[in-house]
Amino acid sequence: MKRITVLLLSLLPFITLAQDKCNMPESIVWNEISVDQTASMPFGNGVIGGNVWAEKDGARIYLARNDSWSELGRLMKVGRLHINIDGCAWDKNFSQTLDLTNGKIVIENDYLTLYVFADSDFPVIWIHGIMKNAAKVTVSPEIWRTQPFDPRGMAESMWSARGFPETPFLESADVTIQGGFYHHNSQSTVRMTAINNHINPDVVPEQLLGRTFGAIMSSKELSSYLDNGAIESDKPIKEFTVKVAVTSTQADWKSETTKALSDAGNYSKASKRTQTYWNKLWEKSYVKISTPDITTGKKITEAYNCQRWITTTAGKSEYPIKYNGSIFTIEKNPDYRKWGECYWWQNTRLPYYSMLKTGDWDILKQLFCYFSRLIPVFKDDARSYHDSEGATFPETMTPFGTFAVADFGYGVRYPQTMWIRHIMQGPLDLVHLMIDYYRYTDDKQFMTEVVFPMSEQFIEFFISRNKLDESGKMRIKNTQSLETYWYDVENDTPDLAGLHCIIKDFRSIEGTIQIPKSLAEKIDYIEKVVPDVPVRKDAEGKDIYVPAEKYNSKTTNCENPELMTVFPFKLSTIVSNKELGINTFLKRKNVFTYGWPQDGQVAALLGLTDIAKDQLIARIGNTNPKYKFVSYYGPNFDWTPDQCHGGNIMTTIQEMVMQCYDSSIYLLPAFPKDWNVCFKLAVPGKTFVSGEYSDGKWISEPKTEKQSGHSIIKMN
């Protein structure tokens, strides 16, 4: 026994060093100056963010938020800044570094070093420059919304307003003020959209009217104010600091922005707290993969780290991450994004699944809070459209929870679009994700105050809406199987799989928390009446899931709804109904290696290592050649940077490395035997498991951080 103890103790320094090398991501370094914004680096603190790049005439910064909504409901950039330093040859021995570990961007040349970062604690961006020789410095707003804008020329980007016979009103121009600029909404489409949806406008939150978003700059060294909103130094200086408050509010914008500048304090403290924040984030969880060819492993690891960076820098707002570009769109018109401002559930959810295992639960919780605030809208939607109790939400919805007019139609009683008219499984997917959140976090208060009430409303909707057939089973009619099967659909697989999944979810947490009696009764009822998920024999006599119990085989899109039984609802995995899932997956009608389709994580969840590997390699190669930053995927089906695609990459990697079922942790269930990995990932029970696998063996024996009752099963 003593010999074993000594051996383990002697290995501890090696183990610690090995894992220390894994957790901190490598910086992204560029040595060529940009021609335009396509070679920019994204940054942010979860609430504010933007893009930084340098051209020969100076550095530029896009400013962005997830709540800078125009009066027509369009998510727009806050604005842009231009940093000019007299006599500076920006391209002379140029380098630009994204320091992921410390959360900063650093630009260097022969003349200066420039630091840019978003304060971890305040809606403030810091710009700090150190010059080798004294020079005059100017920071100027660059305004492109100089005139009121008619949206009819960009119809797809105005989903909420599109559909009205005429454009209700124009988007207003931005306003320049001393040291900054702002955009103010004196009008709003919210009330007229609610009325058009036949929803009580008084239950719909007015998120647009009176909203002001913009930025104000403050600097001791740049104390002169110019008429165009710029600030500049009175004389040549060798060092300067500018803090930029980037705010959006329906209250007193000027007061809130001034307060943010004051609260942020000084540069030194801001730099230290921001560095500490990002250090802790990367220490919390990580995945580092190496491969025989070296390059592939580096690209996979970089893709994982950079997508986590993008997700974290945009995910802490009161509004969800925009799947079609997040806050990092950088086209010539940076306000444009394909598919507009609506949240499309099938797309919106995809960046969030990986947060369970990264342990970034604070961001995931924001998603749930957003939907919880809209429950009154969802209840009125169930009443008005479905003549039902409970609550439901549209597959594609405005930021204030209604159908977009473009989808609902103008002057009609019910939604007209066939693409999403009868899709209802989104709330079930959300409930499943919320219960997973509880398993990982043990957040009983949030479960009691938010998850249980919201879940009960969503379940009540299915009970109220759908009648029982002669056998006593629920018959779901007036439905569809995602966007792919519209006609003659009954008992669609996504709805049935979702109902079976959440029944299992609630059963799994019984005994850990008191489920309210009324909710428990609804779960008992659903368990009795929900039909089996439909299964048929294929041409070879093998069982496969099918899109619905009854449906017309005519297809209208390219989703594989039968595979929702694997992801997200996990009725078939490496530990249950595996063969059924594999048969279905291999027979899928649509095969994709990009965008929102989830082939990668489905393959991993079924233990199909070779397919998961090929999917992952193809997906990390999907970066848009037009853009320099690795995570600018797409546009694929959506827009660049494609957050569906990036989210799927993270989830696929995680499911290849680790899967958790009940009290068992399965390690490397779909991981190539000739690949190496060092990881630390969250598991249910508010803890993390870490380990290092190299050259076919475990160098660092996998273990959980604390006693959790889990058994670890090594599958490689």
SS (H, E, C) 91-156: CCCCEEEEECCCCEEEEECCCEEEEEEECCCCCEEEEEEEEEEEECEEEEECCCCCCCECHHHHHH
Q: Is the peptide bond before 635 cis (omega within 30 degrees of 0)?
A: yes
Contact call for residues 624 and 640 (beta carbons, < 8 A): yes
Mean pLDDT, all residues of the chain: 94
Q: Give alpha helix (H) positions in 554-596.
A: 578-586
pLDDT score at 373: 98
pLDDT tens for each residue of 298-309: 999 999 999 999
How much is the pTM?
Answer: 0.95
Q: Is the peptide bond before 568 cis (omega within 30 degrees of 0)?
A: yes
- Mean of pLDDT values over 142-150: 93
Q: Which of 79, 151, 150, 63 lies closest to 404, judged by CA? A: 151
Q: How would you label 234-258 residue by residue, b for 16+ Cβ within 10 Å and e otherwise? A: eeebeebbbbbbbbbeeeebeeebe
pLDDT score at 716: 84
Residue 473, burial from CB neighbour count under 10 angstroms (0-12, 13-18, 19+): middle
In angstroms, rounded to a whole number, what is the distance separating the alpha carbons of residues 92 and 82?
A: 19
H or E element, residue 63: strand 58-65
Contact call for residues 149 and 76 (beta carbons, < 8 A): no
pLDDT tens for each residue of 544-557: 999 999 999 999 99
Q: Which of 234, 268, 330, 297 lies closest to 36, judged by CA? A: 330
- Mean of pLDDT values over 566-594: 98
Residue 271 has pLDDT above 60, yes or no: yes
Which amino acid is it at 77? K
Contact call for residues 131 and 124 (beta carbons, < 8 A): no
Contact call for residues 210 and 197 (beta carbons, < 8 A): no
pLDDT tens for each residue of 1-49: 333 333 333 333 333 333 446 889 999 999 999 999 999 999 999 999 9
pLDDT tens for each residue of 320-330: 999 999 999 99
Domains of the chain: 51-285 (2.70.98.50)
Q: Give alpha helix (H) positions in 176-235.
A: 190-196
DSSP state of 661: E
List, edge to edge, every strand of the sheet that includes 658-661.
Answer: 658-661, 664-667, 711-714
pLDDT tens for each residue of 513-542: 999 999 999 999 999 999 999 999 999 999
In angstroms, rounded to a whole number, what is the distance separating the alpha carbons of residues 373 and 642?
A: 27
pLDDT score at 152: 65
pLDDT score at 9: 31
